[in-house]
Chains A and B, each alone.
Chain A
Amino acid sequence: MAKRKFGLALSVLLAAGTLLGACGSDNGEEATNEGNNSGGGESASEYSVAMVTDVGGVDDKSFNQAAWKGIQEFGEDNGLEKGDGGFDYLQSAGEEDYIPNLNALARRDFNLVFGVGFMMQDALDEIASQQKDTEFAIIDAVVEQPNTVSLLFKEHEGSYLAGVAAALMTESKKVGFVGGMENEVIHRFESGFVQGVEAVDPSIEVDIQYTGAFDKAELGKTTANRMYSSGVDIIFHAAGGTGNGVFSEAKERKSNDPDANVWVIGVDSDQYDEGAVGDVNVTLTSMLKRVDVAVKDISEKGMNGEFPGGEVITYGISEDGVALADSRGNIPEDIMAQIDEYQEKIASGEIEVKEYPEGKEPK
C-alpha cells in the first residue's frame, strides 16, 4: 500500500515537472524573442514569413528545399533579414516536432507560417484553430480553417508532359512508371504520365509498379532492373528515396554498356546530378514541382493584404507551378518543340488531364 502511494506521488511529481518544464522553455523562447525584436525593431511593421520543414530538412533536394528557396527569394525581394520579423525556418526531426514548431513560429509573431508536406495536415489544423491571428499555408494537403490557405499542385499536368517526352523518345515502345506508396498524390503522377504517353501513341505499353515505400532504394533498384530487363527504356519515378535505386540501376547498366538505351525521368526537383555516369547522363529530364513559385506567390499576396484564407489553390502549368526541367540536350530540339505544343494546349485548356487513373479515384 505504502509502495503504491509512493508510486503515485512519484508520477504526480513527474507530471508536474513535465508541465512546469514546458512552461519554462516557452518563457525562455519568448524572452529571446523580445531580445531579438528590440534589436531589429524597424522591421516590425514588415510582413514576416516562416516555414516548418518536413523530416527531410531544408536541403532535401526536394520540396522542403524548394519552399525555403521561395521564402528566401521573397525575403531578398523585400529586403528582409533572416530571423524574427523577417524570414526563418524550423526543422522537424520527426512527426512529434510539427506542433511545437508551428506553435513556436506563430508565437514568434510571424505573419505567415508555411507547413510543408501533407504529413503536417493534422498538426497545422490544430495550431491554425488556436492561433487565429497568424496566417497559415499548407503544401500538398487541404486544411479547412479560415486563416489557412491550402496549396496543391497539378502533378498530373507535369506528369503528362513527362509522358509525352517518354513516348516521343522511347525506341522500344515500352516505358515504365515506378511509384512510392499508393496515395492520391502519387496517383496523380501515374494518371498524368499514362495519359501523356497515350496522347502520343496509344500502342506504347506503360509498365506501372508501386514499391510501397519512399525510402527503400533496393526495391527501386530491383523494380527498375525488372523493367529494363523486360525491354522498358524510359522510367519515370515518383518514389523519393526509392527512386534513388532506379537511378542506380540505370547508371549501372549505362556504365557496363555505354550504348545501353536506358533513361530515367526525375521528379520534384531537377535530378540531373543524380543521373551522371562519367561523361554521360541517364536523366532524360525531370518533372518539376515549383513549390518555390507557390510559396513566393502566397507570401506576396499576404504582404499586399490579399491573403486567400480558407481557399484551396492549385498550381498547374498555366500558373507555372509544374514544368519539365532543362534536359541539357538529352531531348533533341524538334521533340522539345512538340512537348511545348502539348504544354501550350494544356495551359489553354484545350487538353484536359484527368487527375486520377481509372478505378483509383479517391472515395
Chain B
Amino acid sequence: MGFLDILYFMVPVSIAYAAPLIFTALGGVFSERSGVVNIALEGLMVMGAFIGILFNLFFFDTFGSWTPWIALIAAMIVSGIFAILHAVASISFRADQVVSGVAINMLGLAIALFLTKMIFEKGQTDFIKKAIPNFDMPFLSDIPVIGPLFFKGIYGSSILAVVAAIITWYVIYKTPFGLRLRAVGEHPMAADTMGVNVNKIRYIAVIISGALAGIGGAIYSQTMTRDFGHATINGQGFMALAAMIFGKWHPIGAMGAAIFFGFAQALAVVGPSIPLIKEIPTGYLHALPYVVTILALAGFIGKATGPKANGKPYIKGSR
C-alpha cells in the first residue's frame, strides 16, 4: 500500500469509528457542563443500542429503508427518558453522581439483556435487515485527494455527528441557554442569585445527554454489529468519556478526540500491512490506541480542568 492508499483507508475508517463516540461525548459535554458527572454514558449507550436494534427489527416492514433513521429517534427518546433516573438521583436526591452513574451502567445492560431474553428467548437479538448505509457523496467524492478521503463510502450518521458537534458548540457558547448551562456548572449559587433555575437546567442537560448517548449507541449497533448482545457495547461509553475529557469539555475538542481515537484504532489494524510498522509485534500495535491516548493526555494537551461545580449537588442557601 502506498502512503495515499493508507490514508484513503484510514481516514474514512476513523470517521466511521468516531461517529458514535462523538454523539456520546457531546452528551457528556452537556451533562458535565451543567455540573452533573455522567459516568452513566455507557449504560445510556447500551440502552440506545438495544432500542435501535429492537425498533429496526419490529418496524422494518412499516418504514422500509428509513427504519435505521427512525430507530435513532426512538433510541434518542428512550435513552433520554432513561437518563431521568440519573437526574432524579443526582439532582433531586443529591446522591453521589459517580455511584448513580455506575448504577445506571449496570441497570442499562441488565434491562436490555433481560428484555432480549424475554422477547427473543435467546442471548442476542436477530440480525437487522437494514443497517445505516454508506454511500459516495455525489460530485464531492470526485474531488482529487479530498474526495476519497472524506466523501467516499461515508455514513450519513458520520455527517450527522459532525453537524451535531457544531450545533452543540453553537448552543453552549452562543445562546442564552448555553450561558446558563455553563454558569450552573461553574458557580450554581451565582446563577441561582441571578434567577436561573439550577435544577431545571441540570435536568434538561442530563436528559439531553441521555438522548445523545442513545443516538450514539444506536449508530454503533446499526453500523458495526447489526444485532444486540452482551458484548455489543463494551467500553465505548467510557471511550466517549475519555474523548470528552481529552477535548477539555469542549464539543469540537471532543469531536477531534473521538476522531483521533478512531485514527489510532485504524492504525493498529492497518499497521501490519505498512512496511516499517510490520516489524513491530502485534501486541504493541493493539496497545497503540491506549498508549497514544495516555501520551496525548499527559504531554500535549496540558491540564484538563472540568467545570468547577462538576459533581457537586446544589443545595440552595449553602455556602
Contacts and interface: CB of A to CB of B under 8 A. Distances in A.
A59 B226 contact: no
B92 interface: no
A278 B224 CA distance: 18
A230 B81 CA distance: 44
A252 interface: yes
A244 B123 contact: no
A222 interface: yes
Contacts of A213: 286
Range for the number of chain A residues in contact with chain B: 35 or more
Interface residues of B, number: 36
Interface stretch (B27-35, B171-179, B264-272): B264-272
Contact of B282 (A61, A210, A278): A210
Interface string B239-254: 0000000000000000
Interface string B118-158: 00011110110101011100000000000000000000000
A244 B225 contact: yes
A59 B123 CA distance: 5
B123 A56 contact: yes
B232 interface: yes
B134 A252 contact: yes
A230 B5 CA distance: 10
Contacts of A225: 9, 13
10 contacts: A59-B121, A212-B282, A217-B232, A226-B9, A245-B225, A251-B131, A252-B131, A255-B133, A273-B126, A274-B127
Contacts of B131: 248, 251-252, 255
Contact of B226 (A216, A226, A248): A248
A245 B123 contact: no
Contacts of A251: 131, 226
Interface in A254-271: 255-256
B231 interface: yes
B194 interface: no
Counting chain B CB atoms within 10 Å of each CB, the highest count among A222, A241, A244, A256 belongs to A222
**10 tightest CB-CB pairs across the interface, nearest first?**
A212-B286, A215-B231, A59-B122, A217-B225, A241-B231, A217-B224, A222-B269, A59-B123, A57-B123, A218-B224
A219 interface: yes
Nearest to A218: B224
Given A182-B282, A230-B273, A273-B127, A222 B122 contact: no
A209 B286 CA distance: 11
Nearest to A223: B269
A221 interface: yes
Contacts of A276: 127
Contacts of A223: 269
Contacts of A229: 9
B17 interface: yes
Contacts of A74: none
A215 B226 contact: no
B2 interface: no
A230 B1 contact: yes
B236 to A, nearest CB: 8
A218 B127 contact: no
A226 B225 contact: no
Contacts of A241: 225, 229, 231
Given A57-B123, A226-B270, A221 B224 contact: yes
Contact of A256 (B1, B124, B133, B229): B133
